A and B are shown apart, each in its own frame.
Chain A
Amino acid sequence: MASLVRSFGDRSLRSLVDLDRGLVSREIYVNEDLYKMELEQVFTRAWLFIGHEAQVPNPGDFVVSRMGEEEVILVRDRKNQLHVFLNTCRHRGMKVCRYDDGNTLVFTCPFHGWSYDTDGRLVGVPYFDAAYKGDMDKSEWGLPEVAQMCNFYGSIWATWDKGAPSFESYLGPYSDTVRRAFQSSDGEDNGVELFNPVYKWRIPCNWKFPGFSFDGDRAHAAMTHRSINVAAIGPQGDAGGGSRAPIRAPFPYTDYEMTVPELGHGGHNAIYEQPGLAEYRDTWFTEPGVDDYYRAMREKKREKYRGQYIVGETALIWPNVNIQPHRILIWHPHSVGVTESWRAYPIDRMAPQHVKDAQRRYMMRYGGPCGLTESDDMENWNYASAASFGTVAKRYPYNFMMGAGHAFVDEQRAPGMTLNYEVAEENQRSRLRRWLEFMEAGSWEDIYPVNPVSPSAGEATKSKSKVES
């Protein structure tokens, strides 16, 4: 299929992203024109995370979300159907919904009073008979609705592009990862709800700083998170070396950077050397009763997954959402140098309140706008962004060479994935490759399922992965 090479000034887009050499121009992180192209080429085309069905359990319930820079409304209509609408009146563009969430019969524009049913139909136009005199067909002026919406095990995703592949196809090998992220701790589908509210804050950096590095930049942790790694913010407090992560039982595995280059998704994932799940290890020493709950749930889940190999517990789903058990991280573009960062925290819907409270407190001190780990990251993203806007600074490309040429595949244990050493930049190169494909493509036919850009980092080669325990 044809690939349209769009030019950028006197340079082609490809000249800005040299993945064979691991060199990427800072322009793609700081240039206003490229940013505007992204909004069109990436964010009106890709499947984007909207929210969770548990946020809108009753008819008339709504929650405002975002697709790119633009607000959308996730609403359950009076017939119990879910919709995602652009939050703009068809008359003069005013937001028809100015609350973060709630329940309503209609969305009434506060400007001139056009009113829309929860199924998007325009149902009320002031002075309709007297002023329009039958010249306007209200059925043609409903709220703009996304081209496709998918309820994937409770998580809601949407795209503005009717030519996009199905969401499950879009996920490829990571569909199981996303499915499991919305299971309760015992492995039951549709088993979670989200803490309300979703955390939202703005950070002064391009969306790709967090979006392309999360779950693809393990190298930063040793330096950036050194203090947090020894600060005992984990559930176990001072025990277990003071790690920020919960204690886990030993289980033989090897960590890798894994990615699906032709789709752009990827994460830091383990390949386990034996089937099933590790037994539960008590870790909530500062929260009485929580281990009892999670231990019982884990046993049920171990039973469900007995004999199965699990691959991929987290994933960055192209382009801007990281899916993990217990947290969903979304980076919405807000302007070329500003990202609106959202955190949604799934929790077992049926968990007792003391478990929900304990999990919420842990997540709050771990990440989010005032969480300790996230604060470390923001410091880097913010100042890396600031130091990349300069005229001279832009002459110097970023270095994405780590692990280039050392990717391999393991079709038996991780089918469809490309692997690299756990500390690499394979996933970031994968996202940059997908970015280039989206920016060049004229339509979905150009970018799915084929990969028109030659593989970077050398050809992926068959290799037997090492075994660690």
Chain B
Amino acid sequence: MTDQEPIAKKYSEAVGGAAITGAVNDAVLIRDLPEGTHVRIRSGDIVEITANPRDGGWLFVKVLESSDSSRIGTDDMAFCVDVIDVVRHVDR
């Protein structure tokens, strides 16, 4: 089981086991996600949104959990198709 599996599994089942390149109807629309939201990205990392340019394409994030310990605490950017799931919502 990978971190992508909750959505990936549903998508794979829906398309009859086709290769998974990204969810469509389950896509996470990132444009309005507020700062502080925790999301899971394709690599499996859990990241916190530190700034949202609201362009629908990118998020500024800080890595909270990662299999690569050197990434924890670092700042990064996350592209929309790499955002797999929201794991913690915050109130606006």
Q: Which residues of A contact B (CB under 8 A)?
A: 104-106, 108, 110, 113, 115, 123-124, 126-127
The answer to whether residues A126 and B81 also contact, given A106-B53, A108-B53, A108-B55 and a CB cut-off of 8 A, is: yes
Which residues of the other chain, B, contact A104 by a CB distance below 8 angstroms? 53, 55
Chain B nearest CB from A27 CB (Å) reads 46
**A113 to B53, Cβ gap below 8 A?**
no
Which residues of the other chain, A, contact B51 by a CB distance below 8 angstroms? 105
**A115 to B60, Cβ gap below 8 A?**
no
Most chain A CB atoms below 10 A, which of B51, B52, B55, B80: B55
Closest residue of chain B to A125 (Cβ to Cβ) is: B79
CA gap between A106 and B77 in the complex, in Å: 11
Which residues of the other chain, B, contact A123 by a CB distance below 8 angstroms? 77
CA gap between A108 and B58 in the complex, in Å: 8
Q: Which residues of B contact A (CB under 8 A)?
A: 51-53, 55, 57-58, 60, 77, 79-81
**B81 to A124, Cβ gap below 8 A?**
no
Which residues of the other chain, B, contact A127 by a CB distance below 8 angstroms? 79
CA gap between A113 and B58 in the complex, in Å: 8
**B79 to A113, Cβ gap below 8 A?**
yes
**A126 to B79, Cβ gap below 8 A?**
yes
Q: Which applies to chain B's interface (DSSP): helix, strand, loop or mixed?
A: mixed
Which residues of the other chain, A, contact B53 by a CB distance below 8 angstroms? 104-106, 108, 115
> Which of B52, B77, B81 lies in contact with A115, CB distance below 8 A?
B77
CA gap between A192 and B79 in the complex, in Å: 41
Which residues of the other chain, B, contact A115 by a CB distance below 8 angstroms? 53, 55, 57-58, 77
**B55 to A106, Cβ gap below 8 A?**
yes
23 A-B pairs in the complex with CB atoms less than 8 angstroms apart: A105-B52, A105-B53, A106-B53, A106-B58, A108-B57, A108-B58, A110-B55, A113-B57, A113-B58, A113-B80, A115-B53, A115-B55, A115-B57, A115-B58, A115-B77, A123-B77, A124-B57, A124-B58, A124-B77, A124-B79, A126-B57, A126-B79, A126-B81
Chain B nearest CB from A286 CB (Å) reads 44
**A105 to B60, Cβ gap below 8 A?**
yes
Chain A nearest CB from B6 CB (Å) reads 21
Which residues of the other chain, B, contact A106 by a CB distance below 8 angstroms? 53, 55, 58
7 shortest interchain CB distances as A-B pairs: A105-B53, A108-B55, A108-B57, A126-B79, A124-B77, A106-B53, A113-B57
Chain A nearest CB from B33 CB (Å) reads 14
Closest residue of chain A to B52 (Cβ to Cβ) is: A105
CA gap between A123 and B79 in the complex, in Å: 11
CA gap between A110 and B55 in the complex, in Å: 9
Chain B nearest CB from A300 CB (Å) reads 44
CA gap between A104 and B55 in the complex, in Å: 9
CA gap between A104 and B58 in the complex, in Å: 12
Closest residue of chain A to B79 (Cβ to Cβ) is: A126
Which residues of the other chain, A, contact B77 by a CB distance below 8 angstroms? 115, 123-124
Which residues of the other chain, B, contact A105 by a CB distance below 8 angstroms? 51-53, 60
Chain A nearest CB from B72 CB (Å) reads 18
Which residues of the other chain, A, contact B58 by a CB distance below 8 angstroms? 106, 108, 113, 115, 124
